[in-house]
Structure 1
């Protein structure tokens, strides 16, 4: 599917008896938009759209959602097709690179995620400061924010560094979630293992212990994997908008993601 906007006939706006021409576009899913980028410079006016209910903040070729019609597509692929035939790591690669991985690319990306799943040992002490019964999202937001102090970013980011940041986040959030659960029930932390794939690794960290192996159930692994796929991206929702706004200040990426978690 093409990810290019189609230029349509310009719209005409009349203000104070003057006519202004505004570009209009059609997206790949048939959505139409008026480009008001130059509106203020040309007219002195701004638009008022309380809650941004009628505003598209950016162009995107990643996700399309129509909740009323039950449509969700990642990179043009229907969610039904991805949920049935792909795994979460493959979908993550698709969202990141724009195409599904071949076997070599999948192995390389999966290995990178596994190698990025460990969090700094000193971060573990933070879990001890939360009251028992603390809300999981509050813990997650705090822990992700703390990672900004352990993983400072270079001033200049190249493509590989950007991919590594994504790998860290995708892997370390899973580890934080499992550690949070273990702390909430008073059990020892279980570290990630190279023996398991992404979702199986998460379940093993959640439910195994030094004195009890966790027997992975294929149906449960598949169900969790499908849930992760369904929630992998939700277009320009509140969290995404918060991340984009915080990111525009060039803040540390962990702090930026924390804004999305808290939104």
Structure 2
């Protein structure tokens, strides 16, 4: 078939020939995508000797390990073009928002779809900051953790704990259509939980920080910005008329804005997966926080800084590179699942880092990071495996943002918390969109390709032959007295 010419419109469909049966199927293409369920119609008879678990007669399944090319939702929120280095919130380039907006204003944009007017923003800011206070029991809850508990463990638990206080926000108690009706009453309940979660995120994070420091908790102040209030709650030690450093306050606000959303990353997908059961938003956000905790996601900048500390000085980089090649060490913070060129946020973070370092002084690990970057860029081992860092990526989510946080005095294990607090905004934007989507919410239930044992009969214990092997038997554990 030739290509369409002139005024002809190309056929927006995909023709698939199933060579097993000779049948041809036409699948509609909408927004450059096809429905995976269309392949369920492609059925065939089971081949001789084929496993019944393949379910060939029930149609084809689409295998996509790690969701490399599976679209699970129609979204209007964030657009990323990793090849071109583009990131836009609701159509606005991230560079423009970082230059002109604030985290809280951008949060409004992400959740409601448009930049607020002055009066709209006034109401929004007032409600979020008003809902930053927590119940008095929250102090007892946070104090119940060990002094050395990871702050992400505290924060994750605290988000789930919050949900126990708000029965009116629980679809299990109020009816499963509590957040999906879209009427004024339902939207008002939804908005109140959004205020609570964004407002209390900083408070709970500050409490997790102060538990580790052995300090009393601080009541959220009035008259400060969102990030200003956060820094106040973490750093205030009873000084009269204390206010956070405005440069650091602005830097943190910019980083919060940059980290507010990143499309369907692991944690946002976790929130939607959990939310698809119509659980309360506090539980969904707690699930997202647990997902963010991992070193392949929100724990990345903590892992990167620990790596740099282990390397030490720039002259130790060559030995570290060789250890990585021998798989004795792990290289953290290089490469990206989405960006294949410059991360658009990197230029903003560079400028922010310069401003912060003027106040705090430059971190000595920066030279080590630069040496590691240069060495990996030149090494064919990393280039051929696409492990070499892109020109600017390491400045963003990993090394430089971690060095900024370190320069500001945050402990290493608090870095993922500084990722989680602003990402609450993105999680809620995606959750709200799913609750209000046309056609309602359908629970997410992915398929699997079963490759385990076929049907087998039970064997009494005295007649069994043991199965040996490292991954086939439980590991023995030594127990102390």
TM-score strictly above 0.5: yes
The aligned runs of 1:136-155 (5 Å cut-off) are: 136-152=151-167, 153=169, 154-155=174-175
What's the CA shift string for 1:3-51, capped at 9, x where partnerless? xxxx97111122221122222233xxxxx32222443256522211111
- With a CA cutoff of 8 Å and minimum separation of 6, indicate the structure with the bigger relative contact order: 2
Distance of 1:82 and 1:177 partners within structure 2: 25
- Which residue among 251, 261, 266 is the counterpart of 1:223? 251
Partner of 1:240: 268
What is residue 12 of structure 1 aligned with on the other side? 15
- The 4+ residue runs of structure 1 with deviation greater than 6 A are none
The corresponding residue for 2:73 is 58
Matched, 1:161 2:166: no
Q: CA deviation at 1:216?
A: 2.4
Indicate the SS of the match to 1:64. strand
**Distance in 1 of aligned mates of 2:115 and 2:28:** 33
Could you tell me which of 135, 141, 145 is aligned with 1:130?
A: 145
Distance 2:11 2:93 in 1: 26
Q: Distance in 1 between matches of 2:68 and 2:281?
A: 27
- Which protein shows a greater Rg? 2
**1:86 to partner: Cα distance:** 0.2
Q: Residue 232 of structure 1: SS of its match in structure 2?
A: coil
- Tell me, yes or no, if the aligned pair for 2:203 and 2:220 is still in contact at 8 Å: yes
2:106 corresponds to which of 91, 96, 115: 91
3-state DSSP of counterpart to 2:30:
strand
Q: 1:67 to 1:106 in 2, by over 3 A?
A: same
SS in 2 for 1:191: coil
Contact 1:127 1:183 in 2 (8 A): yes
Out of 284, 289, 307, the residue aligned to residue 256 of structure 1 is 284
Distance 1:128 1:20, change over 3 A: same
Aligned-residue RMSD, C-alpha? 1.8
Task: Report the counterpart of residue 171 of structure 1 in structure 2.
Answer: 199
Query: Given that residues 8 and 25 in structure 1 are in contact (C-alpha distance below 8 angstroms), is that contact kept between their aligned partners in structure 2?
Result: no
Q: CA contact under 8 A between 1:140 and 1:177: conserved in structure 2?
A: yes
Structure having the higher strand fraction is 1
Give the structure-1-normalised TM-score.
0.90
Aligned to 1:34: 34
Count of residue pairs the alignment pairs up: 252
Question: 1:211, CA displacement in angstroms?
Answer: 4.0
Task: Report which stretch shifted further, 66-75 or 218-227.
Answer: 66-75
Q: State the Cα distance separating 1:215 from its structure 2 match.
A: 3.0
Q: Secondary structure at the match of 2:33?
A: strand
CA distance in 1, matches of 2:119, 2:11: 41
Partner of 2:94: 79
CA distance in 2, matches of 1:40, 1:79: 40
Task: Give the match for residue 133 of structure 2.
Answer: 118
1:46-69 deviation per Cα after TM superposition (whole angstroms, max 9, x unaligned): 211111111011111100123443
Q: 2: CA distance between counterparts of 1:21 and 1:167?
A: 47
- Are the counterparts in 1 of residues 221 and 229 from structure 2 also a CA contact under 8 Å? yes
Aligned-partner SS, 2:69: coil
2:27 counterpart (19, 22, 28): 22
2:210, 2:234 within 8 Å by CA — same for their partners in 1?
yes
Structure 2 regions of 5+ residues with no counterpart?
Answer: 1-9, 44-58, 180-185, 292-481
